[in-house]
């Protein structure tokens, strides 16, 4: 249920603590896993949805520093472990989802804006270079955190600056260079929350032509990925060149090829399965626990390590507490 603020909690992590009196809302034992893309996993001890930027700043600057704070997006590439997430989980709402053309070919986007909505806004405005976002599941905040990319584009190609707020409530703006962005990697200081970004379009073109390109991306994605299943996008990041060479693997070897190589396509643990359509996608076939999903991913990683000595890196985040067996 929704709880009024201020909120004094008696719980395993928060114990007896009075949270700041905010204008947004707190919710105790709020579902996370069941509303994520995998539809598996536990709850948030406390979920906080700030009313706006000022409300978020107020919360962070007044929340006791020993209270764990986690920020989550639309949970498109996240496994929420079955034991849930302790402390306060922040999810940004409508006030953080705005998209607007601020000048020339610059687009200001809130962290809660969906990647696909950002791509569509750019296309309708006649801006090129953001089309790849229609093939990236999730929201802009998550895309910033992992330098998300697809179909020949990635966030660092279009990012001018990203806005963050630190645990003390202070606002910061960082460039791609300051974030040290590389393939599926972004160095955001610990505890900082992405609240928005400014993107720069590559150029201009006829909106219908751009939309046609996006249609091609969507059709290709639908034909090669299990997008209608309970999935979380690519499970493992593609290996870097030095990793491949050190293991004697050919340049350009993809993660899905390594999953195939060790018999992973279609492999199932409990209700979790590596997709038959795309071997680097994990799906919940129905009734999977978060542990099933994580165990399946770790089994694939173990097999690849045993086979060729390569350490596959998770692209999907795993957050929260495991349930003791």
Beta-strand pair 85-91/43-49: parallel
Q: In this structure, is residue 243 part of a structural domain?
A: yes
What pLDDT, on a 0 to 100 scale, did the predictor assign at position 10?
A: 46
* Domain ranges, residue 82: 2-91
Tokens matching residue 110: 């809130």
Same domain, 34 and 8: yes
Q: In this structure, is residue 116 part of a structural domain?
A: yes
Catalytic residue among 186, 234, 255, 275: 234
CB 302 within 8 A of CB 294: no
Same domain, 130 and 193: yes
Q: In this structure, is residue 325 part of a structural domain?
A: no
Same domain, 279 and 302: yes
Known active-site residue 184? yes
List, in sequence order, the alpha helices (H) in the chain: 53-62, 115-124, 140-146, 155-158, 207-224, 241-246, 255-261, 290-308
Catalytic residue among 81, 131, 154, 184: 184
CA distances (Å), origin 305, targets 65, 227, 247: 39, 28, 10
What pLDDT, on a 0 to 100 scale, did the predictor assign at position 325?
A: 52
Where residue 83 sits, what CATH number does that domain have? 3.30.43.10
Q: What is the mean pLDDT of each run of 10 residues along the chain (325 residues)?
A: 43 69 96 94 97 97 94 93 97 96 94 97 97 94 94 95 97 97 93 97 96 95 92 94 96 97 98 97 96 98 98 96 82
Same domain, 79 and 102: no
Same domain, 192 and 240: no
40: CB partners within 8 A, 6+ apart:
33, 34, 79, 80, 82, 230, 271, 284, 288, 289, 290, 292, 293
Known active-site residue 315? yes
Same domain, 106 and 152: yes
Where residue 308 sits, what CATH number does that domain have? 3.90.78.10
Q: In this structure, is residue 191 part of a structural domain?
A: yes
Same domain, 64 and 121: no
Q: In this structure, is residue 169 part of a structural domain?
A: yes
**CA neighbor of 50 nearest in space, from 73, 76, 68, 24:** 24
Same domain, 167 and 253: no
Same domain, 201 and 107: yes
Domain count, the chain: 3
Among 91, 124, 141, identify where a domain stops: 91
Return the number of other C-beta atoms located less than 10 Å from residue 152's C-beta.
10
Helix (H, G, I), strand (E, B) or coil at 288: coil
What pLDDT, on a 0 to 100 scale, did the predictor assign at position 103?
A: 87
What pLDDT, on a 0 to 100 scale, did the predictor assign at position 17?
A: 72
CB 75 within 8 A of CB 42: no
Among 91, 126, 146, identify where a domain stops: 91
Q: Phi/psi of residue 201, each to 5°?
A: -70, 150
Beta-strand pair 193-200/106-110: antiparallel
Known active-site residue 229? no
CA atoms within 13 Å, Cβ hemisphere of 295: 14
- E strand or H helix that includes residue 2: strand 2-3
Q: In this structure, is residue 214 part of a structural domain?
A: no
Tokens matching residue 275: 């997709």
Catalytic residue among 45, 120, 294, 315: 315
Same domain, 57 and 146: no
Q: In this structure, is residue 222 part of a structural domain?
A: no
**Residue 222 burial (C-beta neighbours within 10 Å; 0-12, 13-18, 19+):** exposed
Q: What are the DSSP calls for 96-160, one per residue?
A: G--EEEEETTEEEEETTSBHHHHHHHHHHTTEES-GGGGGS-SBHHHHHHHT-EETTEEHHHHEE
Where residue 157 sits, what CATH number does that domain have? 3.30.465.10
Tokens matching residue 130: 């953001």
Same domain, 83 and 111: no
What pLDDT, on a 0 to 100 scale, did the predictor assign at position 241?
A: 95
Among 43, 59, 91, identify where a domain stops: 91
Q: In this structure, is residue 215 part of a structural domain?
A: no
Same domain, 275 and 298: yes
């Amino acid at each position: 249920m929704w709880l009024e603020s201020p909120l004094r909690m008696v719980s395993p992590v928060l114990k007896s603590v009075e949270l700041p009196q905010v204008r947004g809302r707190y919710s105790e034992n709020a579902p996370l896993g069941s509303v994520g893309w995998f539809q598996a996993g536990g709850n948030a001890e406390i979920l906080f949805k700030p009313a706006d930027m000022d409300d978020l700043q107020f919360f962070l600057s007044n929340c006791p520093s020993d209270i764990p704070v986690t920020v989550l997006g639309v949970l498109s590439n996240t496994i929420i472990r079955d034991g849930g997430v302790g402390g306060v989980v922040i999810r940004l709402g409508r006030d953080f989802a705005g998209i607007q053309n601020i000048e020339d070919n610059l687009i200001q986007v809130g962290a809660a804006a969906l990647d696909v909505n950002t791509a569509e806004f750019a296309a309708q405005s006649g801006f090129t270079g953001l089309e790849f976002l229609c093939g990236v599941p999730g929201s802009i905040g998550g895309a910033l955190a992992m330098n998300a990319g697809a179909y020949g584009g990635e966030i660092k190609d279009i990012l001018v600056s990203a806005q963050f707020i630190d645990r003390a409530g202070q606002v910061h703006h960082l460039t791609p260079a300051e974030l040290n962005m590389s393939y599926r990697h972004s160095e955001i200081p610990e505890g900082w929350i992405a609240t928005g970004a400014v993107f720069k379009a590559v150029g201009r073109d006829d909106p219908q032509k751009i939309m046609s390109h996006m249609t091609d991306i969507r059709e290709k994605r639908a034909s090669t990925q299990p997008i209608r299943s309970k999935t979380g996008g690519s499970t493992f990041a593609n290996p870097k060149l030095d990793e491949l060479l050190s293991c004697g693997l050919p340049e350009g070897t993809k993660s899905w090829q390594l999953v195939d190589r060790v018999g992973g396509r279609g492999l199932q643990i409990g209700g979790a399965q590596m997709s038959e359509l795309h071997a680097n996608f994990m799906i919940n076939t129905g009734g999977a626990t978060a542990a099933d999903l994580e165990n399946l991913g770790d089994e694939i990683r173990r097999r690849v390590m045993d086979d060729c000595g390569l350490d596959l890196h998770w692209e999907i985040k795993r957050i929260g507490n495991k349930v003791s067996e």
